[in-house]
Amino acid sequence: MLLLVGLGNPGARYAGNRHNIGFMAVDAIAKHHDIGPWRRRFQGVAAEGPLAGERVLLLLPGTYMNESGRAVAEAAHFYKLGLSDIVVFHDEIDLEPSKVRVKTGGGIAGHNGLRSISAHIGNDYRRVRIGVGHPGVKDLVYSYVLSDFGKDERPWVGALCELIAANTDLLAKGQDATFQNKVHLSMQAKGFFPPKDMD
């Protein structure tokens, strides 16, 4: 069993926020792989189904971002999952918009959802870091991530979530680097960022 967690805040007022791109990505995975229906479980909503020969549980915590760890811990303990079986999709302000990086463990860079999860289950789970960009000034970060993607950003957000969903089978197989590269090259092919990787 793999646990795929999308981070975000529940409710319509947050649905389009940059902070909710984790929710958007996992919702796209559910649609692409026909996993469902969503049911109220583990202090949020969850859907279970097959993906690349694995059984997966998709989870959108309903606890609000700062308490995401409560929902993740409940699901992980219920299925007796190890940290390597948990993949968390979240917004990353230290990555350019539309960039995706996968890593295991590491710092939380001030992300309250990651802080909560690490406090509840430990730090060495897998993360899919989805770049949303930085407002440029530290004091503006809070309002920036809690504001909606702009109209001009929505095309790449939709394309990126669909590409993440289309390639999630690679994550399920543990091929994190291949997943990352395929998403990057596909976004590049669609023209959503310059050919030269600026990292």
DSSP, res 193: S
The model carries a pTM of 0.95
Q: Would residue 199 count as lying in a domain? A: no
Q: If pLDDT is split at 50, 70 and 90, which confidence band does 195 have? A: very low
In 3-state terms the chain splits into helix, strand, coil percentages (rounded to 5) of 45, 20, 35
Q: What is the mean pLDDT of the chain?
A: 93
What 3-state class would DSSP assign to 191? coil
In the block, tokens 């993440």 appear at 164
Distance separating alpha carbons of residues 173 and 20, to the nearest angstrom: 25
Q: Would residue 181 count as lying in a domain? A: yes
Q: Would residue 129 count as lying in a domain? A: yes
- For the chain, the domain total comes to 1
Q: Would residue 41 count as lying in a domain? A: yes
Output the pLDDT for position 194: 55
Q: Please pick, among 19, 32, 90, 111, the residue that the annotation labels catalytic.
A: 19
Q: Would residue 164 count as lying in a domain? A: yes
The half-sphere exposure of 21 on its side-chain side, counting CA atoms within 13 A, is 31
| CATH number, residue 98 | 3.40.50.1470
Instruction: Please give the single-letter amino acid code of residue 8.
Output: G
3-state secondary structure labels for all residues of 131-162: ECCCCCCHHHHHHHHCCECCCCCHHHHHHHHH
In terms of residue numbers, what domain contains 139? 2-189
Q: Would residue 35 count as lying in a domain? A: yes
Q: Would residue 154 count as lying in a domain? A: yes
Other C-beta atoms lying within 10 Å of the C-beta of residue 176: 18
Indicate if 19 belongs to the active site: yes
Q: Inform me whether the pLDDT recorded for 106 exceeds 80.
A: yes
Q: Would residue 196 count as lying in a domain? A: no
Output the pLDDT for position 185: 94
Output the pLDDT for position 80: 97
Structure tokens at 62: 């309903």
